[in-house]
Amino acid sequence: MSGETVRFALFAEVFAALSHPKRLEIIHYLGEGQRNAGELTELTGLSKANVSQHLSILKARGLVHCDKCGTFCHYRLTSPKVLETCEIVRQLILEQMDLTTTYRRQLAEVAPIRKDASG
């Protein structure tokens, strides 16, 4: 496998980890500060088992780290770049929404095509 192929495969794995809405929600809460699984369960409304599965995926991709403290695991983001990446995507979505709104406005201003009565 070429270096480029490996690079793109790694990108795809990280984006796959970020592709679930609940994982993004977990990242949001961890962006506010360190949390344990019980807190994330309460905040997200997911079962503890489901939160654990999502955290496992995020940990496997190096986006979240677990600090063990006795019987508790405290989760945190591995880097502020995780939130920066989410913010860049949010900005991209907003730009796309602006373009769509602009195109809709422009289309609404165009006179409709009228069929000729003889046609």
Q: Dump pLDDT digits (tens) for 44-62.
A: 999 999 999 999 999 999 9
Q: Dump pLDDT digits (tens) for 61-98.
A: 999 999 998 888 999 999 999 999 999 999 999 999 98
pTM: 0.82
Helix (H/G/I), strand (E/B), else coil: 61: coil
Say if strands 35-36 and 72-77 run parallel, antiparallel, or are unpaired: antiparallel
Residue 3 has pLDDT above 90, yes or no: no
**DSSP state letter for 117:** T
Helix (H/G/I), strand (E/B), else coil: 76: strand
